[in-house]
Structure 1
Amino acid sequence: MTESVALVRPSVEYQDAYMAFYREWVGSGEDMVPWVISRDPSDFQAMVEWLLANETDERLPEGRVPDSTYWLITASGRVVGAVNIRHRLTEKLFQRGGHIGYGIRPSARRCGYATKLLALALEKARGLGIRDVLVVCDSTNEASARTIVRNGGVPAESFTEEDGNVINRFWIRP
Structure 2
Amino acid sequence: MQASIRLVKPSLDYRDEYISFYEEWKRSGENIVPWVVEREPYDFPSMIEFLYSQDSEEKIMNENWVPHSTYWLLNEADSIVAAVNIRHKLNQKLINNGGHIGYGVRPSQRRKGYASLLLSLALLQTKTMELSRVLVVCDKGNTGSERTIIKNGGKFESEFTEENGNVVRRFWIELE
Match of 1:73 in 2: 74
Counting only pairs closer than 5 Å after superposition, residues 50-89 of structure 1 correspond to structure 2 as 50-60=50-60, 61-89=62-90
**One-letter code of the match for 1:52?**
Y
Whether 1:48 aligns to 2:48 is yes
How far, CA to CA, are the matches of 1:168 and 1:53 in structure 2?
29
The count of corresponding residues between Structure 1 and Structure 2 is: 172
Structure 2 residues without counterparts, runs of 5 or longer: none
How far, CA to CA, are the matches of 2:173 and 2:115 in structure 1?
16
Match of 2:115 in 1: 114
Report the 3-state secondary structure (helix = DSSP H, G, I; strand = E; otherwise coil) of the residue aligned with 1:171.
strand
Report the 3-state secondary structure (helix = DSSP H, G, I; strand = E; otherwise coil) of the residue aligned with 1:167.
strand
Q: CA deviation at 1:52?
A: 1.3
Give the alignment's TM-score, normalised by structure 2: 0.95
How far, CA to CA, are the matches of 1:63 and 1:168 in structure 2?
22
* Identity score, percent: 52
**One-letter code of the match for 2:119?**
L
Q: CA deviation at 1:167?
A: 0.4
Give the alignment's TM-score, normalised by structure 1: 0.96
Match of 1:9 in 2: 9
> Which stretch of the first structure deviates more once superposed, 65-74 or 50-59?
50-59
**One-letter code of the match for 2:139?**
D
How far, CA to CA, are the matches of 1:13 and 1:168 in structure 2?
36
Q: CA deviation at 1:4?
A: 4.0
Structure 1 residues without counterparts, runs of 5 or longer: none
How far, CA to CA, are the matches of 1:32 and 1:173 in structure 2?
27
Give structure 1 regions of 4+ aligned residues with deviation exceeding 6 angstroms.
none
Match of 2:132 in 1: 131
Q: CA deviation at 1:129?
A: 1.0
Alignment RMSD (CA, Å):
1.1
Match of 1:153 in 2: 154
Match of 2:100 in 1: 99
How far, CA to CA, are the matches of 2:23 and 2:66 in structure 1?
28
